[in-house]
Amino acid sequence: MPRFLRPLIRAVTYTRWLHLLMGAAISLIIAFIYPGLSDPSFADWVLIAVQPIPLVAAAALLPSMRRAEGLQARLMLFPGQHARVPGDDEDPGVSVAPSASWRDRGRTAVWLVLRLEAGAAATFCTVQLLGTMLALLGSASEPGEDPGVLLPVPAPNWTNALLAPLPVLLLLALAVVAGRLMASAARRLLGPSPKERLAALEERTEQLLERNRIAHELHDSIGHALTVAVVQAGAARAAADPEFTDRALGAIEETGRAALEDLERVLRVLREDGRPASRRPTLADAGQLLDSARASGAEVATEVTGPLDQLPGPVSREAYRMLQEALTNVLRHSGPVPVQVRLTVDDAALEIDVRNALPRAGDVTGRGGSGLRGIRERATLLGGRAVTGPRGGEWQVHVELPLG
């Protein structure tokens, strides 16, 4: 089908025209009282269009009027399930919130007046063009009375029947163009206010931050558990020692259980089922994390200065994840090598320093993945900084987080 004919098979074209005709309802109701609709002249049509303007402008003062108009516009002016066109799930950009300011009320008033006048014009054109079509059909066979239309009708002739489709085609073209213009006007006049746009942007930002945090949680927890399991399984197979194998299986079981608890907690948050999620681990629980790394064969030397249990909750929870990711990277990329962990707490800041020997050139499996990037992102969100990379023949993860 030619492109210019496609709008004629889309339901949204006709719902837009219906929306226009509905805009003239108040004008027609008032017209029944004065000047009447029995034989209106062009001047009467102008009067019919002008009389309701004060009424609809006053109706715009009601905050709920903007919501009502927004809902109608979304349903009838934009593609939806009824449209059968690509992209019918796109946001039309029309607000359905009540008026929250005089600016919103003013825009709603302009929209109502525009809809009133456009509706009156659409009704007038519909009546005139359909009347002209009927007049052409009638004059094809025999002369008739004055059809009461403004468009000229040729003298009675059978060829007039061939001209009858022209007013209908003109009406269809008018419906397509006018519908698109009204949809564009709705976006401008009923679109979100700056305050609503800012609120929507803030909500979207919060959603992205929450999704990013959950992704980091899953990456750190599940990634650490899988890394420990892989290292333990490989070491047990290489050792061929039943006692060592039992210890490795025990470490795998313990780490897997902790990972399942983390996964269940995150899934509860995603489900929003109202049940309290289990407590997130803090830096005070670092002993279990270090034991898990030791069980994987790493020689972890720890130095703790200051009270870890008195850290602010958000700092302590994020610091635990940073330490977890640092140890996971050691096991993943360097294997069970000696690791030095230093945790320092004072009145101003928390410092985390994790160092390990660099692997041999042939053993390097790659660095700088999403885990280390996540450490830097977490530190930045807390107002601190994180440095990762080789230093003095060792690989270092150094984090500084302010406490004030």
Per-residue pLDDT, averaged over 141-163, amounts to 69
Sort strands 349-357 and 339-345 into parallel, antiparallel or unpaired: antiparallel
pLDDT at 293: 80
Q: Place 117 in a pLDDT band, splitting at 50, 70 and 90.
A: very high
Per-residue pLDDT, averaged over 244-269, amounts to 72
Q: What is the average pLDDT score of the chain?
A: 81
In the numeric block, which tokens belong to residue 4? 């210019």
Are 367 and 333 a contacting pair, CB within 8 Å?
Answer: yes
pLDDT at 107: 93
Q: Is pLDDT above 80 for 99?
A: yes
SS (H, E, C) the chain: CCHHHHHHHCHHHHHHHHHHHHHCHHHHHHHHHCCCCCCCCHHHHHHHHHCCHHHHHHHCCCHHHHHHHHHHHHHHHCCCCCCCCCCCCCCCCCCCCCCCCHHHHHHHHHHHHHHHHHHHHHHHHHHHHHHHHHHHHHHCCCCCCCCCCCCCCCCCCCCHHHHCHHHHHHHHHHHHHHHHHHHHHHHHHCCCCHHHHHHHHHHHHHHHHHHHHHHHHHHHHHHHHHHHHHHHHHHHHHHCCHHHHHHHHHHHHHHHHHHHHHHHHHHHHHHCCCCCCCCCCCHHHHHHHHHHHHHCCCCEEEEEECCHHHCCHHHHHHHHHHHHHHHHHHHHHCCCCCEEEEEEECCCEEEEEEEEECCCHHHCCCCCCHHHHHHHHHHHHCCCEEEEEEECCEEEEEEEEECC
**Residues 6+ away with beta carbon under 8 Å from 397:** 322, 326, 329, 352, 353, 354, 355, 372, 375, 386, 387, 388
Q: Is pLDDT above 60 for 56?
A: yes
pLDDT at 367: 44
At 268, give phi and psi (nearest 5°). -65, -40
**386 vs 280 pLDDT, higher one:** 386
pLDDT at 145: 59
Alpha carbon distance 236, 247 (integer Å):
9
Alpha carbon distance 359, 337 (integer Å):
9
**pTM over the 0.75 mark:** no
Express each pLDDT in 221-252 by its tens digit: 677 777 777 777 777 777 777 777 777 777 77
Q: Is pLDDT above 90 for 210?
A: no
Express each pLDDT in 285-320 by its tens digit: 888 888 878 877 778 899 999 988 888 888 888 898
Per-residue pLDDT, averaged over 248-271, amounts to 71
Express each pLDDT in 70-98 by its tens digit: 999 998 998 865 545 555 556 788 988 89
Are 363 and 262 a contacting pair, CB within 8 Å?
Answer: no
Are 383 and 350 a contacting pair, CB within 8 Å?
Answer: no
Express each pLDDT in 346-385 by its tens digit: 988 999 999 998 766 544 444 445 678 888 888 888 888 9
